[in-house]
Amino acid sequence: MSTTDRNTNEPLPAPWHSESGLPAPRRLVPADDRLRAATAHRLAGEGTGLLWRGDYQGARQLLRALERRIDRKAPAPAATPAETFRLHRRFRAHRARVLGRLAVLLEPDHTLRLRRAPDTRAACTAAYGPPAGPRLVPLRELLGVLGAHQWRERGVPVPALDARVHPHYGVFAPVRAEYVDLVAQEPLPAGHTAFDLGTGTGVLAAVLARRGIDRVVATDISPRARACARDTVHRLGLASRITVTGPGLFPPGRAALVVCNPPWLPGRPASTLEQGVYDPGGRMLHAFLAGLAEHLEPAGEGWLILSDLAEHLGLRTRADLLTAIDTAGLRVTGRTDTRPRHPRAADPADPLHTARAAEVTSLWRLTPR
Ligand SMILES: C[S@@+](CC[C@H](N)C(=O)[O-])C[C@H]1O[C@@H](n2cnc3c(N)ncnc32)[C@H](O)[C@@H]1O
């Protein structure tokens, strides 16, 4: 099977596959170790795809060289944090597009037929599903698939569970322990049931079950997250206590505790890979607030886990959040704050450094008014 390049009518050698939704290049030229970074940068910048035929390590080096060239044009901080964030997002999207034009051909069995290439079969099958013919993929995305697979195999340590969770490709990973600790330490309301909305790896559902809640129903919009959460539940021996379902946000019925850790930044995800981080217009946050009262048992509580990074970036105000809580007929009965311990907060080269350094993550306790 082949995909036709609309501009030149020359067929691509295989269907284009980009997990982050990058469009197929307008034109594709063969490339190998003789290609200089400056030429590659010019071609990729013009929209030409480079189909790598050379050495695998050479392709990685070229990718790094392209990154350095593109990063020389990174935007300077703007007058406001919101404008800096907007420019940063736009630059990252441009960077992803240009870097995404260095492509490799995945064979029908998910192997990469390049010198010194690693075995890509298990990682690609985990991310893309069983082999279904050849595909052209951006090298950068393939490296992401390989990295994610290593991470999945190794697992992320979660101190609150005294265990590791194994994030699947494209699933929000609990690398920041501070919000998990909030859920692990907050006094529980009376009752035996809980919902975990937007469960991701299932980490918070597992924490709640480990804390003694008898029945937890965990939901997620993403099929990858649901598969991952089921995997977590089985690995931790919690299958009799946790049910994973979706794609709807709320399961039917009511619970004594409803926990929700929505994506923390209002904004359009560039692809499903960003669904754990960006929430367009705060849709999930608002849906959680709007549906909470009718899904709580009497004396039940909602726990909203939210960082104030969006506030520091000028994307949402504290007043917006309080108004949304009030409009949903809820009141705040308590709030526990913690400071994230993530490395990027201390990286002055990160254009969002100031906002990250000031970030506070909170668990908001909510009840119907
Ligand atoms: C910030 S992540 C939190 C994941 C997990 N609860 C944790 O704390 O590690 C947000 C999750 O919400 C999911 N999500 C986003 N929009 C959703 C929606 N409308 N309904 C259900 N889940 C949604 C995403 O797929 C993602 O897994």
From the CA of 232, how far away is ligand 1's center (Å)?
Answer: 15
- Average pLDDT score over the chain: 93
Which positions ≥6 away from 41 have C-beta within 8 Å? 66, 69, 70, 98
Position 240 scores a pLDDT of 97
Q: Is 172 in the pocket of ligand 1 (CB under 6 A)?
A: yes
Position 342 scores a pLDDT of 66
Q: Nearest-CA neighbor of 255 among 209, 307, 309?
A: 209
Which positions ≥6 away from 343 have C-beta within 8 Å? none
**pLDDT tens-place string over residues 283-330:** 999 999 999 999 999 999 999 999 999 999 999 999 999 999 999 999
Q: Is 275 in the pocket of ligand 1 (CB under 6 A)?
A: yes
**pLDDT tens-place string over residues 154-169:** 999 999 999 999 999 9
Q: Is 361 in the pocket of ligand 1 (CB under 6 A)?
A: no
Largest CA distance in the chain: 70
Q: How far apart are CA 342 and CA 350, in angstroms?
A: 13
Position 353 scores a pLDDT of 80
Q: Is 20 in the pocket of ligand 1 (CB under 6 A)?
A: no
Q: How far apart are CA 256 and CA 242, in angstroms?
A: 15
pLDDT at 149 over 80: yes
Contact between residue 30 and residue 51 where contact means Cβ atoms under 8 Å apart: yes
**pLDDT tens-place string over residues 2-56:** 333 334 445 788 999 999 999 999 899 999 999 999 999 999 999 999 999 999 9
pLDDT at 276 over 90: no
Q: Nearest-CA neighbor of 265 among 235, 239, 249, 285?
A: 285
Q: Is 167 in the pocket of ligand 1 (CB under 6 A)?
A: no
pLDDT at 347 over 80: no
Q: Is 198 in the pocket of ligand 1 (CB under 6 A)?
A: yes
Position 357 scores a pLDDT of 87
In the numeric block, which tokens belong to residue 163?
A: 């265990």
Q: In this prediction, what percent of the chain has a pLDDT beyond 70?
A: 95
**What ligand 1 atom has the least distance to the C-alpha of 199?**
6
pLDDT at 270 over 90: no
Q: In this prediction, what percent of the chain has a pLDDT beyond 90?
A: 85
Position 346 scores a pLDDT of 62
From the CA of 51, how far away is ligand 1's center (Å)?
Answer: 35
Domains of the chain by range and CATH? 27-151 (no CATH), 155-368 (3.40.50.150)
From the CA of 316, how far away is ligand 1's center (Å)?
Answer: 19
Position 19 scores a pLDDT of 94
- Confidence band, pLDDT 50/70/90 cuts, at residue 233: very high
Return the ∠ at Cα 62 (arms to 57 and 68), rounded to 5°. 130
In the numeric block, which tokens belong to residue 67?
A: 């990154």
Position 119 scores a pLDDT of 97
pLDDT at 339 over 50: yes
pLDDT at 349 over 90: no
**What ligand 1 atom has the least distance to the C-alpha of 225?**
27
Mutate which of 166, 176, 284 for ligand 1 pocket (most atoms within 8 A of beta carbon): 284
From the CA of 225, how far away is ligand 1's center (Å)?
Answer: 8
Q: Give me the DSSP letters along 20-77.
A: T-PPPPSEEEEE-TT--HHHHHHHHHHTEEEEE-SBHHHHHHHHHHHHHHHHTTPPPP
From the CA of 278, how far away is ligand 1's center (Å)?
Answer: 10
- Phi and psi at 363, nearest 5°, equal -110, 115
Q: How far apart are CA 77 and CA 314, in angstroms?
A: 14
Q: Is 203 in the pocket of ligand 1 (CB under 6 A)?
A: yes
**What ligand 1 atom has the least distance to the C-alpha of 180?**
8
- Phi and psi at 212, nearest 5°, equal 110, 0
Q: Is 232 in the pocket of ligand 1 (CB under 6 A)?
A: no
Closest residue (by CA) to atom 27 of ligand 1? 200
- Confidence band, pLDDT 50/70/90 cuts, at residue 354: confident
Q: How far apart are CA 15 and CA 10, in angstroms?
A: 13
Residue with tokens 């754990």: 276
Q: Is 345 in the pocket of ligand 1 (CB under 6 A)?
A: no
Position 4 scores a pLDDT of 36
Mean pLDDT of 68-94: 92
Closest residue (by CA) to atom 17 of ligand 1? 221
Q: How far apart are CA 253 and CA 301, in angstroms?
A: 14
Q: Is 206 in the pocket of ligand 1 (CB under 6 A)?
A: no
Q: How far apart are CA 193 and CA 241, in angstroms?
A: 10
- Confidence band, pLDDT 50/70/90 cuts, at residue 356: confident
Contact between residue 176 and residue 201 where contact means Cβ atoms under 8 Å apart: no
Q: How far is CA 363 from CA 72, 112, 175, 183, 197, in A?
A: 39, 46, 18, 8, 14
Q: Is 184 in the pocket of ligand 1 (CB under 6 A)?
A: no
- Confidence band, pLDDT 50/70/90 cuts, at residue 249: very high
Handedness of CA 217, 220, 223, 229 (dihedral sign): negative
- Phi and psi at 30, nearest 5°, equal -70, 150
**pLDDT tens-place string over residues 191-220:** 999 999 999 999 999 999 999 999 999 999
